[in-house]
Amino acid sequence: MATFASPSQALDYQVVDVFTEIALKGNGLAVVFDTVGLATERMQAIAREFNLSETTFIQRRDLETEKSEGVRVRIFTTQEELPFAGHPTLGTASVLKLSAPETLHDNTVRLALNVGSVPVRFNHHSLYGEMIQRDPEFGAQLEPKTVARLTGLNTSDFHAAAPPQVVSTGTAFAIVTLRSHEALAHLRVDHEEATKYLREKGGRWFYVLGPTGGDPAWRARMQFYGGEDPATGSAAGCAISYLVGHGIVAPRQQIHVKQGVEIGRASDLFLGADLISGKVSDVRVGGSTVRVAKGQLFLP
């Protein structure tokens, strides 16, 4: 009969689906508690074990520090630590609202991420939250023919109002807007070449979106690491910044972006931003979260 060694450390975790009101849709997230002192290498290994788009690690501090600076959280993909990511921010704040209500102040949970402090404001009686992302930084404009070749699209698919451009609200994405969402069916990112090209331009991945014709509804896709992300909240913040900055969407107008349809993980993201003295600000990305599972990690 097999025997199992006793763990030297047990860590509680929860799994939630983010940007959805339906379990097993949206973007899955693992949230690990009580990780103060846990080595970075161990966090990365745990993220690989969960094998989700991201895993977050909560490192609690005294309540006064958390009230002023936020609850310390680190975010990992299966391959690297990220300074900021949208669905981990929203999902982790939702978990804290339910599991650690002392972190909720004026219906807001504030997270201290590597990129800085990010607030998530919740509706009173639900897990619908809206994060306020950093004001955007607009980077390099990209040559449409090169972007078309790297994404499997045609330049005629692109929106005429503005060229593809690198934008960051904490993590830099190349925003590509289409005349119609129908061209998304042909998206095939050449990951190896695209990664090299985008790193040279200051970006990480392509975020491609187009209107559905049912204004203000859009569809989006984000292919990375050889796969596809069901919902990308950080890229969505970059996208609404781009759309408002280039006059494609009006300031303060909320748009509904659906992502993950092609991989059976439909996600609903609600975006808005303001334009003050010609600068985009108050970048908002909202959505709901559903609890799916909880358990313990047994670590040697």
Lookup result for tokens 């759309």: 243
Residue 43 phi/psi, 5-degree rounding, is -60, -45
Q: Is the pLDDT of residue 5 over 70?
A: no
Residues 6+ apart with CB under 8 A from 259: 19, 219, 220, 221, 222, 229, 230, 231, 232, 236, 266, 267, 269
Query: Is 54 among the catalytic positions?
Result: yes
* List 21, 49, 54, 192, catalytic entry: 54
pLDDT at residue number 6: 57
Which residue blocks in the chain are alpha helix, DSSP H? Answer: 40-50, 63-69, 86-99, 144-151, 191-201, 233-245
pLDDT at residue number 1: 55
**Residue spans per domain, the chain:** 10-133+289-299, 137-284
Mean pLDDT on 29-48:
97
pLDDT at residue number 4: 55
The SS3 of residue 121 is strand
For residue 72, what are the CA distances in angstroms to 52, 60, 103, 121, 219? 21, 6, 11, 17, 32
The SS3 of residue 172 is strand
Q: What is the DSSP string of 186-228?
A: G----HHHHHHHHHHHT--EEEEEEE-SSTTEEEEE-EETTEE
What does the mean pLDDT of the chain come to? Answer: 96
pLDDT in tens, 75-119: 999 999 999 999 999 999 999 999 999 999 999 999 999 999 999
CATH topology assigned to domain 10-133+289-299: Diaminopimelate Epimerase; Chain A, domain 1 (3.10.310)
- How far apart are the C-alpha atoms of 110 and 121, rounded to whole Å? 8
Give the CATH number of domain 137-284; options: 3.40.800.10, 3.10.310.10, 3.40.50.10480, 1.20.58.220: 3.10.310.10
pLDDT in tens, 154-212: 999 999 989 999 999 999 999 999 999 999 999 999 999 999 999 999 999 999 999 99
Q: Which helix (H) or strand (E) holds 30?
A: strand 27-32
Mean pLDDT on 9-28:
97
- Domain 10-133+289-299 matches domain 137-284 at the CATH topology level: yes
